[in-house]
Every structure is written in structure tokens, then in C-alpha cells.
Amino acid sequence: MNNDEVTGTTPSKGRPWVKLVVVVAAIVVLILLANHFGVFDMLKEGTLKERVERLDAFFQGMGPWAPVAFILIWIVACVLLLPGLPISIVGGLIFGALWGSVWTTVGANLGAAAAFLIGRYAARDMVAGWVRKNPTLRKIDEGVKKQGWRMLMITRLVPIFPFNIQNYVYGLTDIPFRTYVLVTFPCMIPATIAFNFAAGSAREVILSGGQPDAVKKTMIYLAIAAVFFVLLSLIPNWVKKRYAKEDLLQEQ
């Protein structure tokens, strides 16, 4: 990232309000489309089982295009800075633990890559403005200068910065796009598996009505999810010990 961009010595060109209007308009269009296709109606009425069944039927009705639609939702969410956790949970509820993890991994990584490229090329001034106004976000650039790709690994494994915002900010750093993609992919897998297997276990319980086979599968999914949740809880301490000499994490 250029130091002038971070410190603000070079004025940002363009009109931020125009970009804000574009983002708001895009969100409004997405809401209207979701309402048109009855997505909100599926989640309004009925029991939890009925809601999940309607949502499941909606995606299954798309046939082979269902994963494509889900992946596109992920990409749009990353670009528009929408929270990713609800989408991960929906993926597990719709596609099950295994395929939910697969499609979430694909969608989240493509979305992260898209946001990175937008931050680097299309919306550089806007993202630089975020960084100038937010000292916490400047730590990403400082961390990349000190740690290189390891900074990316730290922020992917440890929730120091919001996932969708850091995708954009990394576009302003000196980290190569190829390195960004290769490090992001494996580091996002533990959390993806944890949340999707937890949601997948809920799917088995909700849709099966307590059948013995479903209960057995639920226990397996919960065990796998628990292992990865424990792993995620241990990673922050490991990272802090590994990079204790850096004050980046200690200041959080």
C-alpha cells in the first residue's frame, strides 16, 4: 500500500457519495429480487422444519444450478460487505454438511478474490479512505510489511478484522494476488467445516424427525464440528506465541 494513500497526504479522487449510492442501489436491487422470488416469505411463517423444507425445496428446484446460485450469493455478499456467517449456516442447512462446506469454500474464496481485485483496481480510493480513517485497518498494511503472507494467515485464522473488510484492504497492500489466493484458501477451511457441519447436523435433526440413522449422522457431524471449533479456539494462542515479538496482536 502506498504510504501517501494511508496517511492521506494525497487527496482521494472521485466522489465517495457516488460509490455509496451504487452500493445502496445494488443492495436494494438484491432485496427486491429476493422478495420477488419469495425468499422472505419462505422464512416468515411455519415451524422451523417447514421453513427449512421450503428453503431446501427452493434451492433443490434449481437442480444443478443450485450450487451456482449459492456461490453467486457468496460473491455478492463479499463484494457488498454483507455478513458471511448466516450464508455458511444456510449452506449447511440446504446442501448438508459435506457439500455445504464445499460450496461455501468455493463461494467464499471467489468472493474474497473479487473483493481483493475491486479494492486493488476499481475502488482503490474508497478503500484507501477507510484505511486513513481507521487505525485498526492500517495494521493490516503494517503487518504485511513486517510479516508478509504470514499476516494474511493470521487474519484469516484469528478474527482480528472483519472478513469482508479485510478482503478489500489487502487489495491496497503489496501482497501478490496469487499469494493472497493460495494463503486464503486453506486458512478458511477450518471455520468453514466447523460452521457447515454444525448446520448440517441441525439439518439432519430438523428434516428427519429424529430417525435413528439421522441421529447417528447428526452425532458424527457434531463431533467433527466440535473438533474444528476446538481447533479454532486454540489457533489464536498458538499464533500469539509464535509471533509474540510483534505487538500487532498484543494490542488487540
Q: Per the domain annotation, does 143 fall within a domain?
A: yes
Residue 250 lies in a domain: no
Q: Does 220 map to a domain?
A: yes
**pLDDT computed for residue 12 by the predictor:** 41
Residue 14 placed within a domain: yes
| Contact partners, residue 207, CB within 8 Å, separation at least 6 | 49, 52, 53, 56, 214
* Long-range interactions of 225-228: CB distance < 8 A, separation 24+: 225/193, 225/194, 225/195, 225/197, 225/198, 225/201, 228/190, 228/191, 228/193, 228/194, 228/197
Question: Is residue 55 in a domain?
Answer: yes
Residue 119 counted as domain residue: yes
Which residues fall within 8 angstroms of residue 226, CB to CB, at 6 or more apart? none
Crossing angle (nearest 10°) for helices 163-170 and 135-147:
60
C-alpha cell at 122: 476499481
- Range of 24's domain? 3-242
Looking at the structure of the chain, the number of domains it has is: 1
**Which amino acid appears at position 140 of this protein?**
I
pLDDT score for 13: 45
C-alpha cell recorded at residue 230: 476446538
d(CA 155, CA 143): 10
24: in domain: yes
pLDDT for position 6: 45
Contact (Cβ atoms closer than 8 angstroms) between residue 13 and residue 125: yes
* Cell numbers describing residue 91: 449452506
Q: How many CA atoms lie within 13 A of 123 on its CB side?
A: 25
In order along its 252 residues, the chain shows pLDDT tens digits of 544 444 343 334 445 555 556 656 666 666 666 555 555 555 566 676 777 778 888 888 889 999 999 999 899 888 888 888 888 888 998 999 999 999 999 999 999 999 999 888 877 777 777 777 777 777 787 878 877 888 888 888 776 677 888 888 898 888 899 999 999 999 888 889 989 998 888 888 777 666 667 677 788 888 888 888 887 777 767 766 665 555 444 444
